[in-house]
Amino acid sequence: MKYRSTRGSTLHALDEVLLRGIAADGGLYLPESLPSFSSADFSASDTILETARVVLTPFFAGSSLAGSLHEIIAETFHFPIPANKLDVDNDNAWMLELYHGPTAAFKDVGAGFLAACLSRLHSGATPLTILVATSGDTGGAVAAAFNERPNVRVVVLFPEGRVSERQQKQLTCWGDNVLSLAIQGSFDDCQAMVKEAFAESKLREQYRLSSANSINIGRLLPQSIYYAHSSLEHFRKTGKKPGFIIPVGNLGNSLACILARDMGLPIGEVILASNANRLIPDYLDGAEWLPRASIQTLASAMDVGNPSNMERLRHLHGDAPELVKMLSAVSVSDAEIERQMHDDMQAFGIATCPHTATATHVYRGLSSAQSKADWIIIATAHPAKFDSIVEPLIGQAVPVPAELAAILSRPNRFQLIAANLDALAKAMAEKFQVDEGASTGDK
């Protein structure tokens, strides 16, 4: 299997693609073609590990990691990912809980998989530096996955004052190989700094930069597995292809679902649940694709004004007139998120985080025709990460998972810097004791 940039035609090996993260031309990598599966291919796949082996094996053909794929999968999918039935009148809704990993968010799957891959790939005197922008959950999952791994460093950029207190703790409590930077700006500023750093060849080579955002194909491939497996399980039990309602930010998780459907998995309609950052819903409604400044909302991890993975989606399936034939998107306001978190406790007896509440709100607003289908609602983060928002609305405390409690007991360590590449380069040089002039002096 070879891979090419969304902006070029040159073919690249998987090992190179994983290490680089983003293509030299600024594009995002995609496989040259997607494998095609039928339900019969999964006749012996009773567990998510077995499903992952079937789906991922073609992507690793020719890679030096092919012989380690079973180990990588086992390291990644080591926690439960249950699809629990919800008590609703139509008897047609399930919640896929993706928050039982080390940092209580769906990002643990992609980050853990990428860490398992890169730790096996990288060798050499210069450590690999994972540069990641986060709107809340990605950075914590990446830092946890790479924490204290030899010959790997992590630099996490997060927007100052735009993540929850517990999210910030997860971004800033790690070992000496992790540099956490609070950026005086938005997530879009953080993401722009990451892309600018990759475009700066001397900085990229000096630090051996790689990415762990969903711009790295190594994040998307494993995330497609929980869509593949949950849809297969549902189809076997009911004979129906479930639809998925997915909270959307940078579009990586949603694209993983679409990739699974493109490969032939039994997935029905896909609906993206957006917050007030409604670029995707507006685009699908006919507006021009023009990135916007992000708006701060209760669902902070979805506060993205320029979703990177739209480039991949458009490359695969075309522009809005083609995309509306295969997916839809709904914007949910903060007021609606608050009401929905309260209603989720009343209706289902469960606490939901602000991001998951966007998806349950969309489910509650389905048309009469849509409501006849079976739906799997994606729960992206544990509500305990957003206790200050959730608990007043539901009138009770949210129990803290043991692994999250252990993280919250650690001290914070981070720096506040301006939203520009020079400030980033200086912080990295000071942290890792690298000659800054050697990396950025000749722009």
pLDDT at 136: 73
What pLDDT shows up at residue 435? 56
For the segment 213-242, the average pLDDT, to the nearest whole number, is: 95
Q: Tell me the residue length of the chain.
A: 443
Q: Is pLDDT at 441 greater than 50 in this prediction?
A: no
3-state secondary structure of 10: coil
274 vs 58: CA distance, rounded Å: 32
pLDDT band for position 442 (50/70/90)? very low
Beta strands 243-247; 270-274: pairing state: parallel
Task: Give the per-residue pLDDT at 439.
Answer: 42
Q: Residue 214 — pLDDT band, cuts 50, 70, 90?
A: confident
Helix ranges, 122-186 (H): 138-146, 165-172
Residue 438 pLDDT: 44
> What integer pLDDT is reported at residue 60 of this predicted model?
98
Classify residue 100 by its DSSP letter.
-
Mean pLDDT of 169-182: 92
Q: What is the pLDDT of residues 68-82, one digit of tens each?
A: 999 999 999 999 999
Rounded mean pLDDT, 417-432: 96
Interval 347-374 mean pLDDT: 96
Sheet holding 178-183, edge to edge: 209-211, 128-133, 152-159, 178-183, 415-417
Written as six digits, the tokens of 336 are: 């609606």
What's the number of domains the chain is made of?
A: 1
Q: How far is CA 260 from the centre of its chain?
A: 15
Q: Which of 178, 121, 125, 120 lies closest to 148, judged by CA?
A: 178
**Domain housing 285:** 80-105+218-403
pLDDT digits (tens, 9 = 90+) for 138-153: 888 999 999 988 889 9
Residues above pLDDT 70, as percent of the chain: 98
Residue with tokens 């701060």: 296
Amino acid at 278: R
The one-letter amino acid code at 319 reads D
Which CATH number characterizes residue 300's domain?
3.40.50.1100
Q: Check whether 440 has a pLDDT greater than 90.
A: no
Considering only 50-64, 119-133, 270-284, which range has the smallest mean pLDDT? 119-133
DSSP state of 244: E
pLDDT of residue 166: 87
3-state helix, strand, coil in the chain (%, to 5): 45, 15, 40
Let me know: does 251 contact 308? Beta carbons within 8 Å. yes
Question: Using CA atoms, how far apart are residues 389 and 39, in angstroms rounded to an integer?
Answer: 42
Report d(CA 99, CA 269) in Å as an integer: 23
Specify if 379 maps to a domain: yes
Q: Please indicate, yes or no, if residue 411 is contained in any of the structural domains.
A: no
> What are the backbone dihedrals phi and psi of residue 276, each rounded to the nearest 5 degrees, phi first?
-70, -10
Token digits for 416?
């506040």
Annotate 185-247 with DSSP letters as a single string.
S-HHHHHHHHHHHHH-HHHHHHHTEEE-STTSHHHHHHHHHHHHHHHHHHHHHHS-PPEEEEE
Within a domain: 285: yes
Distance, in Å, from the CA atom of 315 to the CA atom of 320, rounded to the nearest integer, reads 12
Q: Decide if 185 is inside a domain.
A: no
In a domain, 235, yes or no: yes
For residues 269 and 332, what is the distance between their CA atoms, to the nearest angstrom?
19
Strands across the sheet with 29-31, in order? 12-13, 2-5, 29-31
- CA 412 – CA 140 distance, rounded (Å): 12
Report which of 179, 134, 183, 118 is spatially closest to residue 153, judged by C-alpha positions: 179
Contact predicate 128/153, CB 8 Å? yes
Q: Would the pLDDT of 374 be above 70?
A: yes
pLDDT of residue 8 exceeding 60: yes
pLDDT confidence of 269, banded at 50, 70, 90? very high
> Whole-angstrom Cα distance, residue 155 to residue 142?
10
| pLDDT value at residue 295 | 92
How confident is the model over 187-201, as a mean pLDDT? 91
Q: Does a structural domain hold residue 33? A: no
The whole-number average pLDDT for the span 277-288 is 97
How would DSSP label each residue in 326-337? T-EEEE--HHHH
Question: Is residue 95, in this structure, part of any structural domain at all?
Answer: yes
pTM: 0.90
For residue 130, the tally of other CB atoms under 10 A from its CB is 30
pLDDT of 348 > 90? The answer is yes
Asked whether residue 169 is domain-assigned, the answer is: no
